[in-house]
Chains A and B, each alone.
Chain A
Amino acid sequence: MKLKLHIWRQDNAKTAGKMVSYDANHVSPDMSFLEMLDVLNQELITKGEDPVAFDHDCREGICGACSMVINGIPHGPQRATTTCQLHMRSFKDGDEVYIEPWRAEPFPVIKDLAVDRAALDRIIAAGGFISVGTGSPPDGNAIPISKEISDLAMDAAACIGCGACVAACPNGSAMLFTAAKVSHLNLLPQGEPEKDQRVINMVAQMDAEGFGNCTNYAECQAACPKEISIQFIAKMNRDLIRAKLREGNNAGSGKTGGA
C-alpha cells in the first residue's frame, strides 16, 4: 500500500523544525511502523538525503525507546501498544500519516523525532534508595505481601518510562509517570521506610523539570502502552498530602526544644 507521510524534521534543539512530506510507496501491512520508517530511511540514504532520526531499541514493546506521536496519538492509534509493535495493517492505502516527536519543554528535541528524556531519569533518581539488607539473599516470602498489593505494585512497575503520558497530556504533565514510579515502591513493605521522602522528592523534581500540572484529562492513561491507570495519580496525591502533613509533624524532631 501507499502512504503520504508528514514527518517533523529538526536538526537540533536550537533550530526551528518543520513538517516535511514523503511518499511511502512500498508499505506492506505486515511491517511494523518502525520497519516502514527503516524502508523510508533506506530510500533517503540512497538518494543522498538525511535519514529521519528516531529512537528505537528492543522493538518488542518493553524498552520504551520508540517515541513518536502518530496522527496526534503517542504510539499511534492502537491502544496498549508501543510504536514498534504497531503494524501497518492499522492503516489503509492512501492514508496521510503525521509523525511528530514527544512535545514538552522538558523533552528537548535531539534530532527529528528523537527527544532527550533524561528529565524522567532525574525524577527516578530523586526517589532515592530503598532500605534492603545487602549480603546474602533474603529468605523467600520472609516479608508477607498480599496478592492484591503485589499485583497493584506490579501494575505500577509495568511503566517502561517511554514518556507517552507526557506527550499525550495537553498540559505536558509527567504525573502518570511519576505516580507509577512513586507507587510501585510506596505500595510495598520494602519501600515503606522512605515512603514520605520519596514522594516529596520525586514531585519536587517533577516540578523542577518544568512539567505541567495534572488537570485530570485522563489522556495519559489512554496513551500509556502499559495501560497504567490514573488511579495511581490519586494515590500519589494521597501519599504527598499525607507526607506533607507528617513532615510538619516531624519538624524539629532530633533537635532539643522541638514542638
Chain B
Amino acid sequence: MTGVLSFYRTSIGKKVVMAVTGLIGVGFVIGHMLGNLQIYLGAEALNKYAAFLKSTGELLVVVRVVLLTAVILHIIAAVQLTIENRKSRPQRYVKKQHVESTFASRTMRYGGIILLLFIVYHILHFTIGKAPGGPQPFDVHNVYNNVVYGFQNIWVSLFYIVAMLSLGLHMAHGVWSLFQTLGLNNRRFNRLLRNAALGIGTLLFLGNISIPIAVLVGFLKPI
C-alpha cells in the first residue's frame, strides 16, 4: 500500500490515475452510446435492453460502484494536478501564444466541469426521474417514452447537445493523452492514436446528439 501511495504522490502517478480512470470512462461512454442507439430499433428493443440491464442485479451494482469510484478518483486527481499546475506559474505571461496544443487539450478542465454537471443532471433525468424539466410522466419501465418526452423539452435537449460537444472534445484529447501518459505511445503509434481519439470523440458527439435531434424534428415519437 505504501508503494501505491508513494507512486500516487509523484506527478506521473496522479496522471496514471487520470489515465486509467479515463480509460474506464471511455469504455463506458462507448458502450452507453451503443446501448442508446438501440432507440432506432424501436421502443420494444430499447425497453427490453433496459430491462436486461436492470436484471443483472449484483453485476449492475458492481459496475455502478466501479464507475462512481473512477469518476471520483478522476476528479480528485484532476483537482490536485490543477492546483499544482497553477502554483508552478504564479506570474502569468503578458503575451502568450499557443503553437501546437489543440483546442480540445486546452479545454479539458472546463469540459470536465460541464460533464460533471451533466452526469448529475443525466442521472436525475433518466435514472431517477426527478430532474427539473424532466419527462412527464416518468415510467421506469418505459425508457423509450421517457427519452422522447425528456427531449421534447428544447432547453434540456440543448443542454445535452452542449454536454455532448464537451464529451467529444474531452475524448478527442483524452483518448490519445491517456495512452501517452501510460507510456503506451511512440513514433509509430502516435498518428494512429491521435486519429483514433479524434474519431472516437466525433462519433460519440454525433451518435449521442442524434437522439435529441431525432426527437425534436419528430422522427422519434412517443408510443
Top 8 A-B pairs, shortest CB-CB distance: A238-B183, A172-B88, A212-B88, A72-B97, A222-B100, A171-B85, A217-B101, A222-B99
List residues 136-176 of chain B with CB under 8 A from any CB of chain A.
173, 176
Interface residues of B (CB under 8 A from A): 3, 7, 9-16, 81, 84-85, 87-101, 105-106, 108, 173, 176-177, 179-187, 190
B183/A104 in contact, CB under 8 A: no
Closest to A219 in B: B101
Min CB distance B179 to A, Å, is 8
Residues of B within 8 A of A241 (CB): 12, 16, 182-183
A38 at the binding interface (Cβ < 8 Å): no
Closest to B89 in A: A172
A203/B10 in contact, CB under 8 A: yes
Question: How far apart are the CA atoms of A62 and B74 in the complex, in Å?
Answer: 41
Question: How far apart are the CA atoms of A241 and B8 in the complex, in Å?
Answer: 11
List residues 162-188 of chain A with CB under 8 A from any CB of chain B.
168, 170-173, 175
Instruction: Name the segment of A47-55, A127-135, A225-233 touching the other chain.
Output: A225-233
B10/A237 in contact, CB under 8 A: no
Bitwise interface map of A from 82 to 106 toward B, beta carbon under 8 Å scored 1, else 0 = 0000000000000000101001111
Question: How far apart are the CA atoms of A230 and B180 in the complex, in Å?
Answer: 9
Report which of A69, A207, A235 forms a contact with B93, defined as CB distance below 8 A: A69
Residues of B within 8 A of A153 (CB): none
A206/B11 in contact, CB under 8 A: yes
Sample (16) of A-B pairs whose CB atoms are under 8 Å apart: A98-B94, A100-B95, A173-B85, A210-B87, A215-B81, A215-B105, A215-B108, A222-B100, A223-B99, A234-B181, A237-B181, A238-B182, A238-B184, A241-B16, A241-B183, A248-B3
B183/A213 in contact, CB under 8 A: no
B99/A240 in contact, CB under 8 A: no
Residues of B within 8 A of A212 (CB): 11, 84-85, 87-89
11 more CB-based (< 8 A) A-B contacts, given A213-B84, A217-B100: A6-B94, A71-B97, A72-B95, A73-B97, A104-B89, A210-B87, A212-B89, A222-B100, A241-B16, A241-B182, A248-B3
Question: How far apart are the CA atoms of A217 and B109 in the complex, in Å?
Answer: 13
Min CB distance B162 to A, Å, is 23
Q: Is the interface of A mostly helix, strand, loop or mixed?
A: mixed
Question: How far apart are the CA atoms of A210 and B90 in the complex, in Å?
Answer: 11
Question: How far apart are the CA atoms of A105 and B95 in the complex, in Å?
Answer: 18
B101/A170 in contact, CB under 8 A: yes
Question: How far apart are the CA atoms of A73 and B99 in the complex, in Å?
Answer: 8
Question: How far apart are the CA atoms of A219 and B183 in the complex, in Å?
Answer: 18
A217/B94 in contact, CB under 8 A: no
Min CB distance A161 to B, Å, is 18
Residues of B within 8 A of A210 (CB): 87-88
A239 at the binding interface (Cβ < 8 Å): yes
Interface residues of A (CB under 8 A from B): 6, 8, 19, 69, 71-73, 98, 100, 103-106, 168, 170-173, 175, 203-204, 206-207, 210-219, 221-223, 229-231, 233-241, 244, 247-248, 251
Residues of B within 8 A of A104 (CB): 88-89
Given known contacts A219-B100, A233-B180, is B87 in contact with A214 (CB within 8 Å)?
A: no
Residues of A within 8 A of B14 (CB): 213
Min CB distance A253 to B, Å, is 14
A221/B89 in contact, CB under 8 A: no
B99/A216 in contact, CB under 8 A: no
A235/B87 in contact, CB under 8 A: no
Question: How far apart are the CA atoms of A229 and B187 in the complex, in Å?
Answer: 9
Report which of A72, A173, A247 forms a contact with B3, defined as CB distance below 8 A: A247
Question: How far apart are the CA atoms of A103 and B94 in the complex, in Å?
Answer: 11
Residues of B within 8 A of A214 (CB): 11-12, 15, 181
Given known contacts A170-B101, A213-B11, A219-B100, is B95 in contact with A71 (CB within 8 Å)?
A: yes
Closest to A204 in B: B10
Residues of B within 8 A of A6 (CB): 94
Min CB distance A200 to B, Å, is 8
Question: Which of B88, B93, B179 is packed against the most chain A CB atoms within 10 Å?
Answer: B88
Question: How far apart are the CA atoms of A6 and B94 in the complex, in Å?
Answer: 10
Min CB distance A33 to B, Å, is 16
